[in-house]
Copies of this chain bind each other. A is one copy, B any other.
């Protein structure tokens, strides 16, 4: 496959992961301080949602990058596009 090359996209994905990491630390603090399980559950559901949307964001960045490249250098037999679409399917498959 390929890595994220666009700096803006990379920074965006990294910032989301950093936020999720901070949320995870907050949850550990809540447990240590004996907070209510429901409040902790709500925070855990929030981190899960944040990770899911980060995953979608990363997949979209990858698509954008690869499709732009495929459009810039179209091949006669569309094999470049086919390989991009296959990678996208693999990424989307991992989200379930």
Q: Does A94 contact B (CB under 8 A)?
A: yes
Determine if A87 and B27 form an interchain contact, defined as CB atoms under 8 angstroms apart. Answer: no
1/0 contact string of A23-46 vs chain B (CB within 8 Å): 011011001101111101110110
Find A3's partner among B25, B35, B42 (CB 8 Å cutoff): B35
Number of copies of chain A assembled together = 2
Determine if A36 and B1 form an interchain contact, defined as CB atoms under 8 angstroms apart. Answer: yes
1/0 contact string of A52-74 vs chain B (CB within 8 Å): 10110011001000000000000
Would you call the interface of chain A mostly helix, strand, loop, or mixed? helix
Bound form: Cα–Cα A27–B18 in Å: 10
Determine if A34 and B90 form an interchain contact, defined as CB atoms under 8 angstroms apart. Answer: no
Determine if A94 and B41 form an interchain contact, defined as CB atoms under 8 angstroms apart. Answer: yes
1/0 contact string of A7-19 vs chain B (CB within 8 Å): 0001001100110
Q: Does A4 contact B (CB under 8 A)?
A: yes
Determine if A34 and B4 form an interchain contact, defined as CB atoms under 8 angstroms apart. Answer: yes
